[in-house]
Amino acid sequence: MDRLNENKHLLSQPKTGVLAIEKRKHPRFSVELPLDYSFVDGKEIYGGIVANASQGGVLVYLPEKIEIGTLLKIEIFYVKGLELDTIKAIAKVVWSDLAAIESWGEHRYGLQFQSIDEKDFSRLLNLLKEIGK
């Protein structure tokens, strides 16, 4: 009983702590899809992996260091039925950090869609709907 009385004051204290508020406009869906990308003004195509996707952008693992603010042409590959389909867009690097994937030794980036045509956006929405089921 004494112990209960000793800790009673803790119960009447206002609760404090850290409140994390989701800042994203669109929900993210975990995926693992291959990605081709190139710099908007470049010809060479490189490969990467999409780790999650939303209507607003994608989280990707890429093999090289890229500056925040860089625009990339991206093409995401996925299987629809028995066929390979793609989603093409122009995306901007909005954040980066070193990836925690040992085997690839890659960099992790948040890409925000800057330009995506209606047909590709529709494909993206359908893909996210399928993943979300």
User: pLDDT higher for 65 or 106?
Assistant: 65
The answer to the question of residue 105 being in a domain is yes
The answer to the question of residue 58 being in a domain is yes
Domain range for residue 128? 25-132
The answer to the question of residue 13 being in a domain is no
The answer to the question of residue 124 being in a domain is yes
Contact indicator for 73, 65 with CB cutoff of 8 Å:
no
- In which band, very low, low, confident or very high, does the pLDDT at 81 lie, cut at 50, 70 and 90? confident
Please give the Cα distance from 103 to 21 (Å, whole number): 32
Q: What is the pLDDT of residue 28?
A: 84
The answer to the question of residue 86 being in a domain is yes
Please give the Cα distance from 126 to 92 (Å, whole number): 22
Whether the CA torsion 83, 104, 129, 113 is positive or negative: it is negative
- Length in residues, the chain: 133
The answer to the question of residue 16 being in a domain is no
The answer to the question of residue 116 being in a domain is yes
HSE-CB at 72 with a 13 A cutoff on CA atoms is 32
Q: What is the pLDDT of residue 86?
A: 97
User: How many domains does the chain fold into?
Assistant: 1
CA separation, residue 108 to residues 18, 28, 44, 80, 118 (Å): 26, 16, 20, 26, 27
- pLDDT tens, position by position, 9-64: 444 545 454 544 445 567 788 999 999 999 998 999 999 999 999 999 999 999 88
Q: What is the pLDDT of residue 17?
A: 47
CATH code of the domain covering residue 51: 2.40.10.220
Contact indicator for 69, 92 with CB cutoff of 8 Å:
yes
Q: Which of 34, 31, 30, 32 is nearest to 85 (CA)?
A: 34
Q: What is the pLDDT of residue 5?
A: 52
The answer to the question of residue 41 being in a domain is yes
- pLDDT tens, position by position, 97-108: 865 555 555 789
